[in-house]
Amino acid sequence: MEQQTSGASGRELRERLQQCHRESHHLNLLLQELTQDPRCSVCPEGWLWWRSHCYFFSVGVLENRPWNQSAQYCRQHNSSLAVIKDSAEMDFLQGVMRKFPQFPFLWVGLTDGEQEERWLWWDGADVQQYMQLVVEWDADHRDCADLRGGGSLFAADCEAYGPWACKRQS
Q: Give the tens place of pLDDT for each residue, 9-61.
A: 888 888 888 887 777 766 665 655 554 454 555 798 899 999 999 999 999 89
Q: Give the DSSP H or E segment for 130.
A: none
Q: Give the tens place of pLDDT for each residue, 92-106.
A: 999 999 888 777 899
What is the per-residue pLDDT for 23?
Answer: 78
What is the per-residue pLDDT for 103?
Answer: 74
Buried b (16+ CB within 10 A) or exposed e, 44-53: eebbbbbeeb
Residues 6+ apart with CB under 8 A from 151: 90, 94, 133
| Domains of the chain: residue spans and CATH | 2-169 (3.10.100.10)
- Count CB atoms within 10 A of the CB of residue 104: 15
154-157, long-range: CB < 8 A, 24+ apart: 154/105, 155/112, 156/67, 156/105
Taking the whole predicted model, whether its pTM rises above 0.85 is answered as: no
Least confident stretch, 11-15, 154-158, 160-164: 11-15
